[in-house]
Amino acid sequence: MKKITFLFLLSTFLSFAQTQQIDIIDFVVKEPANQSFSAGTKFNFDFKIRGDYSYSSNGHHQIDIVVYKGNSTSSSNSLGRIYWNREDDYDIIYQNYHTKNMWVTSTKNYSTYPGQQFTMRVNYGNHEEIYHFTYPLPDLSIDLNGSVINSNCSGCDNIFSQIGSDRHYINNPTGIATIDVFVQNTGQGDSRSSSIGFYVSADQNFQSGSDTRIKTTNFSSIGSGSGKYVGTTLFTSDFNSFGGNFWLLIRVDDNQNNPESNENNNVFPLRFAVN
Tabulate helix, strand, coil % of the chain (nearest 5). 10, 45, 45
The whole-number average pLDDT for the span 63-88 is 97
The whole-number average pLDDT for the span 2-12 is 47
pLDDT digit string, tens, across residues 124-156 = 999 999 999 999 999 999 999 999 999 999 999
Question: Measured between alpha carbons, how far is 184 from 193 in angstroms, rounded to an integer?
Answer: 13
The strand ranges marked E within the chain are: 24-29, 36-37, 42-52, 63-69, 78-84, 93-105, 110-111, 117-124, 127-134, 140-142, 148-150, 168-170, 176-185, 194-201, 212-219, 227-235, 244-252, 267-274
> Do 20-134 and 140-274 come out as alike in CATH topology?
yes
The whole-number average pLDDT for the span 53-67 is 96
The whole-number average pLDDT for the span 57-74 is 96
For residue 229, give the 3-state DSSP assignment.
Answer: strand
pLDDT > 70 in the chain, percent: 93
State the pLDDT at residue 18: 66
**Residues in a beta bridge with 2:** none
Q: Choose between 7 and 162: higher pLDDT.
A: 162
The whole-number average pLDDT for the span 251-270 is 96
**Residues in a beta bridge with 1:** none
State the pLDDT at residue 9: 46
Sign of CA dihedral 106, 110, 111, 116: negative
Question: Measured between alpha carbons, how far is 21 from 269 in angstroms, rounded to an integer?
Answer: 55
Contact indicator for 185, 191 with CB cutoff of 8 Å: yes
Question: Which architecture characterizes domain 140-274 according to CATH?
Answer: Sandwich (2.60)
Helices (H) and strands (E) in the chain, counts: 3, 18
The whole-number average pLDDT for the span 177-201 is 96
The whole-number average pLDDT for the span 239-264 is 95
Indicate whether 14 pLDDT > 70.
Answer: no
State the pLDDT at residue 19: 80
The whole-number average pLDDT for the span 235-239 is 95
Fold observed for domain 20-134: Immunoglobulin-like (2.60.40)
The whole-number average pLDDT for the span 60-88 is 96
Contact indicator for 223, 150 with CB cutoff of 8 Å: no
Mean pLDDT for the chain? 93
pLDDT digit string, tens, across residues 153-168 = 999 999 999 999 999 9
State the pLDDT at residue 6: 46
The domain ranges of the chain are 20-134, 140-274
Indicate whether 16 pLDDT > 90.
Answer: no
Indicate whether 123 pLDDT > 50.
Answer: yes
pLDDT > 90 in the chain, percent: 90
| Angle value at C-alpha 106, between 44 and 122, nearest 5 degrees | 65
Lowest mean pLDDT among 14-28, 159-173, 202-216, 257-271: 14-28
Q: What is the pTM of this model?
A: 0.79
State the pLDDT at residue 7: 44
Chain centroid to CA 3: how far? 61
State the pLDDT at residue 34: 87
Indicate whether 205 pLDDT > 80.
Answer: yes
State the pLDDT at residue 99: 98
Chain centroid to CA 272: how far? 35
